[in-house]
Amino acid sequence: MGFDQLNDRECQILRVLIDHYVSTAEPVGSRVLANRFNIGLSPATIRNTMQDLEEMGLIRQPHTSAGRIPTDEGYRTYVDNLIEPQTVPDDLAKRLREELASEHKRAVDDILAQTAHILASVTSQIGVTLAPNFDNGIISRIELVPVAERRLLVVMGIQTGLARTVLLEVAADIDEKSIEATQRALNERLVGQSVGTLRTTAPAMLKDDNRADPRLVRVFVEAAEDLIDRGSGESLHVDGTSNLFTQPEFADHQALSGVLRVIEKRTPIVNLLRNRGMGEGIIVTIGREVKLEGAEGCSIVSSTYKVGQVEGTIGILGPTRMEYAKLLAIIDYTAKLLSEQMEA
């Protein structure tokens, strides 16, 4: 059913019905809409219009003699055509800016973990953040830092100031001079290369460099694999799972456990965000569109943030019954703010 086939009355009833259901979590009847909204229609007219909307598949009656609730298709029509754009209130914008600014110059994973926490706090949903896909990032520096006996911290800096780190063990003691010489060789040969090409280029580019300790080169190549491939659960930050317990949709143990299993697996959420979330603007994935077993009653509002040539995704996950207009504004604002902070 296309939106252009709905008349003004049907659009009006669908909008106020969803608005009311989002705020109450209770099926909506015609008399409620007539009494609580100044729409100038009788309960009988509203009832007939709701029947039409039900036949179109936009609302449904969960129980006999109950009111109606939106379907996924109804929410989709509502989100795409009926909600009015909102802006983030000044006090909330100030809070978001101050809290993200406090994370300035920290490691990217710390910033993203805090962003997920902030989103969960201000939306009462589950905040999710996905680390940038570093394949297209250009290497700006490489550091090999001894932190303990036979333990080495590998730091890979990316243009625009981002960095990835990994702690590795080496098979034998390596003196400081060898570490420094290898670090110089790595920087001279690999700075300016894209992260995604390291798998194939690093061994060849370092093959004939006598300054580099072969053992450290091997350790670095292994580290590069880990840094590049941190694309499953490790790159995802989730906060606010406890917010589910306050939502009436998840009072049912089975519904709650299904969503918790999806969150625990993590990788399906990463794949969804990468497949749906990379691109300009806000992406709203509703109900069955999520295509994650156990999360059929959920929606995800997400947006891309950019740091130079790399990009990641932030968003919120919650029940399909959510304040879409408000959340769209918050996610859009936070994504832009995060881009600004990371590039500062």
Taking all residues of the chain, what is their mean pLDDT, rounded to a whole number?
Answer: 87
**Distance between CA atoms of residues 144 and 186, nearest Å:** 10
Positive or negative torsion for Cα 254, 257, 261, 263:
positive
Q: Which token pair is 110?
A: 């710390």
What residue segments make up the domains of the chain, in order of their start?
3-82, 90-131+233-343, 135-228
* Per-residue model confidence (pLDDT) at position 225: 67
CATH of 3-82, one of 3.50.50.60, 1.10.3720.10, 1.10.10.10, 3.40.50.10090: 1.10.10.10
Residue 7, φ and ψ in degrees, nearest 5: -85, 175
Q: Which pLDDT score is estimated for 231?
A: 45
In this chain, the answer to whether the domains covering 90-131+233-343 and 135-228 adopt an identical fold is no
pLDDT at 206: 73
Please write the tens of the pLDDT for every residue from 112-159.
999 999 999 999 999 999 988 777 778 888 888 888 777 888 888 877
Q: What is the pLDDT of residues 64-113, one digit of tens each?
A: 777 999 999 999 999 999 999 899 999 999 999 998 887 665 677 788 99
* Element (DSSP H or E) covering residue 20: helix 8-24
Average pLDDT for consecutive 10-residue bins of the chain (344 residues)?
82 96 94 88 93 96 88 96 94 93 72 94 96 79 84 81 76 81 88 80 74 80 67 75 93 91 91 72 92 93 85 94 97 93 72
* Residue 25 backbone class (left: φ over 0; alpha: ψ -120 to 50; beta: rest): left
- Per CATH, the number for 90-131+233-343 is 3.30.450.40
Predicted confidence at residue 5, as pLDDT, reads: 85
- The β-bridge partners of 59 are 70
Check: CB of residue 304 under 8 Å from CB of residue 277: yes
Place of tokens 């036949």: 55
Interior CA angle at 333 toward 331 and 267, to 5°? 30
Distance between CA atoms of 309 and 52, rounded to whole angstroms? 49
* Contact present, 165 and 226 (Cβ < 8 Å): no
For domain 135-228, the CATH architecture is 2-Layer Sandwich (3.30)
pLDDT for 234:
58
Rounded to two decimals, the pTM is 0.81
- Residue 320 is given by DSSP the state S
Run of H or E including 2? none
Extract the tokens encoding 12: 């009006």
Q: How far is CA 205 from the centre of its chain?
A: 36
